[in-house]
Amino acid sequence: MDGAYDDRDGKIWMNGELVDWRDAKVHVLTHALHYASSVFEGERCYDGKIFKGHEHSLRLIESGRLLDMPLPYSAEEIDAAKQAVLEANGFTNAYVRAFAWRSSGPDMGVSARRNPVSVAVAAWEWGSYYGDAKWQGAKLDIATWKRPDPATIPAAAKAAGLYMICTMAKHSAEAKGCSDALFYDWEGYVAEATGANIFFVKDGEIHTPLADRFLNGITRQTVIGMLKEKGFTVHERRITPDELESFSECWLTGTAAEVTPVGQIGDFHFQVGQITRDVSDSYEALVRS
């Protein structure tokens, strides 16, 4: 599927019905466009089955709740909408985007309780998020922006507004020839990439930042469970930047990223080693099982 995302053939599910792709539109005075009142999910369908699809639907609803924006559909109804979109577009392997937002209505200010909440689901064919880095090891910049204190934002929500600094950090990274950027949090600890969680290896044990200050990814949770089943010790903890030079391997996890090896972060280098390859292969087998 090529071309601009607003000019394609296909169907999108929008507020309870399938509509032509080009007709899935909102008004310019939609509240979400002005005040970031929007939440979303990114999911992958493998061989006709969305991996952890119901968990993603539940998280979408929870993200809406955290933004004081209750969704008008149940998780089961959102699951059915995603399946309808895949079938309508003839996809068996695809990226699925379910999202919700405050629409236009009688309110056009910070407060928008009277504006309805809309929900839509779209899907498209999408390959590796990091291109060749999926196999060669991604190169990451270190972002100048910091992940903010969760007392200032709903850090557990997958909310559109939280990705503003991600877009800026990724643009800056790409301008330097990097695939992505690593964020530190507001206290200076290692946090995550712009759209993926991060893992490190040291002396055969796994270290990953404690996910209480940013989104605890569904893929992250899946990989931690997989590692523990394999007998690895997994440390979820605060990681300082000066520890980066002591780690031998590194990878990213996320629905879009899947399991992507990291070869470099700033001036720090990592091998695409056996543990990373094993995790990547095991995850690939799991999502297609």
Q: 106, 149, 129, 136: which is closest to 196 by C-alpha? A: 129
Q: 230, 242, 239, 240: which is closest to 204 by C-alpha? A: 230
Domains and CATH numbers, the chain: 11-124 (3.30.470.10), 133-287 (3.20.10.10)
Residue 131 Cα distances to 32, 59, 128, 218, 263, angstroms: 31, 27, 5, 22, 14
Judged against a pLDDT cut of 70, whether residue 132 lies above it is answered with: no
Sheet holding 49-50, edge to edge: 17-20, 11-14, 117-124, 94-102, 38-46, 49-50
Q: Catalytic residue, from 158, 170, 176, 230: name it.
A: 158
Q: How far apart are CA 199 and CA 59, in angstroms?
A: 22
**No. of helices (H) and no. of strands (E), the chain:** 7, 15
Let me know if 134 is a catalytic residue.
no
pLDDT tens, residue by residue, 202-250: 999 999 999 999 999 999 999 999 999 999 999 999 999 999 999 999 9
CB 213 within 8 A of CB 153: no
Burial pattern 51-72, b for ≥16 Cβ within 10 A else e, equals bbbebbbbbbbbbbebbebebe
Judged against a pLDDT cut of 80, whether residue 129 lies above it is answered with: no
pLDDT tens, residue by residue, 28-85: 999 999 999 999 999 999 999 999 999 999 999 999 999 999 999 999 999 999 999 9
